Amino acid sequence: MTATAKLFASAALLLLLLVGVPLFINATGRSDLYYTLTSVALLSIISAGVWITFYIGRINIGQGAYALMGGYVSAILVMEYGVSFWVTLPLAGLFCMAASVLIGLPILRLRGVYFAMVTLVLTEVARLLALALPITNGAKGIVSIPQPGRIGLFGLTIVPDFATLANPRFAFYVVSVLLMALCFAALYRLKNSRIGQLCQSLQQNEELASSIGVNITYLRVLAYAISSFLGGVGGAMFAAISQSIYPSSFTVADSINFMLNCFLGGLGYVFGPMLGTFVLYFGWDLLFQTGEFQLLIFSTILIALMLLLPNGLLSLRLSGRPKATAAAPPAHRQEEAQARSTAAGRASS
């Protein structure tokens, strides 16, 4: 698929989400779907952060900690200091980014097993801190958080006051879909940039990447910082939607689900977390009628999918295609190789 075709496909998908889905919901009267689809969009944003750390070859099981921190940072700034929610949204992400840099700098220099062990306990540490700190109000949490206010420019209303809307769920849905679109567009651009190619080299062979001058520690910390930023933004949005945040809002189980979303959709694909979140969220709900067998059936299906489709559900679109044959290197690569061989010959002579 060409770049133009991908652009048109993305625009069509965004138009469907912003126009087609609301028309369908209004026609069926299922306004509760706004909250459901908003949750899926936000969970996919948080899962996208986990995908970035997988892209550099690191296992991240602590994304729930940053979602929890982001929700608390936004709630505290809104409730205690009267800061506008729209200002707290990036601040929550930046706070989580700073925390991840402090954690990642000493740990990401070591082998991946140490990073996985730290992230495994990180969500529980964040939950215990939320229970212990006075500013977080302990187990009672922070409730009655005001809905996002108006954003104006030169007297014009850009974003209305959500509290005055007849259906604020629709407004949250639109904002969440736009954030999701912006998130995955940025990830797609990052993957196809020079930094993205260097991150991929870490996944393939860190020793080789280090031998050619790649600063692997810098790339690891950068990827982890972007990952935590997305977690903080998603957590802040969740706090605004539910108008509350508790220490149990994000648990270790949520961190594992964020990781499963990436596996299920496909670790090799930018849009893998989006598809994985959609399938995992609605798949769990569809199995609700099985009662006590829900978890057993759900786990069995997940294991089977990972065994049969190790590259995720998005790898299905590649099945049936003929295997690509080895192609000749581009002309500029051939010229570079010829120049290097000539230089080596002159040096030996």
- 25 and 46 inside one domain: no
Is position 191 within any domain?
A: yes
Residue 337 has pLDDT above 60, yes or no: no
Q: What's the rounded Cα separation, in Å, for the pair 207 and 212?
A: 9
Residue 230 has pLDDT above 90, yes or no: yes
- 69 and 59 inside one domain: yes
- 17 and 128 inside one domain: no
- 141 and 217 inside one domain: yes
Q: What's the rounded Cα separation, in Å, for the pair 309 and 314?
A: 9
Q: What's the rounded Cα separation, in Å, for the pair 205 and 190?
A: 20
First to last CA, the chain: 48
The share of the chain scoring above pLDDT 90, in percent, equals: 52
Question: Is the CB of residue 201 less than 8 Å from the CB of residue 209?
Answer: yes
Structure letter (DSSP) for residue 249 = S
- 167 and 24 inside one domain: no
Q: For 70-103, how does the pLDDT look when each residue is reduced to its tens digit (9 = 90+)? A: 999 999 999 999 999 999 999 999 999 999 999 9
Q: Give the long-range contacts of residues 55-58, CB within 8 A, separation 24 or more.
A: 55/191, 55/196, 55/199, 55/200, 55/203, 55/223, 55/267, 56/199, 56/202, 56/203, 56/219, 56/220, 56/223, 57/112, 57/202, 57/203, 57/206, 58/108, 58/112, 58/115, 58/116, 58/220, 58/223, 58/224
Alpha carbon distances (Å) from 59 to 112, 142, 227, 235, 299? 7, 31, 12, 20, 20
Domain count, the chain: 2
Question: Is the CB of residue 162 less than 8 Å from the CB of residue 282?
Answer: no
Q: Confidence band (pLDDT; 50, 70, 90) for 318?
A: low
Question: Is the CB of residue 142 less than 8 Å from the CB of residue 76?
Answer: yes
Q: For 292-309, how does the pLDDT look when each residue is reduced to its tens digit (9 = 90+)? A: 888 889 889 888 888 888
Is position 268 within any domain?
A: no
Residue 233 has pLDDT above 90, yes or no: yes
- 157 and 118 inside one domain: yes
Top-confidence residue, 329 or 241? 241
Is position 322 within any domain?
A: no
- 60 and 195 inside one domain: yes
- 8 and 121 inside one domain: no
Whether this model's pTM surpasses 0.95: no
Last residue of one domain, picked from the residues 232, 251, 270: 251
Alpha carbon distances (Å) from 215 to 116, 146, 200, 211, 212? 21, 44, 13, 10, 9
Sign of CA dihedral 179, 108, 270, 239: negative
Q: For 260-292, how does the pLDDT look when each residue is reduced to its tens digit (9 = 90+)? A: 999 999 988 999 999 999 999 998 888 888 888
- 80 and 218 inside one domain: yes
Question: What is the span of the domain harbouring residue 15?
Answer: 1-29
Q: For 104-158, how does the pLDDT look when each residue is reduced to its tens digit (9 = 90+)? A: 888 887 777 788 888 889 999 999 999 999 999 999 999 999 999 988 888 788 8
Q: Confidence band (pLDDT; 50, 70, 90) for 52?
A: very high
Q: For 212-225, how does the pLDDT look when each residue is reduced to its tens digit (9 = 90+)? A: 777 888 888 999 99
- 75 and 174 inside one domain: yes
Last residue of one domain, picked from the residues 197, 230, 251: 251
Is position 259 within any domain?
A: no
Indicate the average pLDDT of the chain. Answer: 86
- 129 and 212 inside one domain: yes
- 156 and 206 inside one domain: yes
Given this model, what pLDDT does residue 158 score?
85
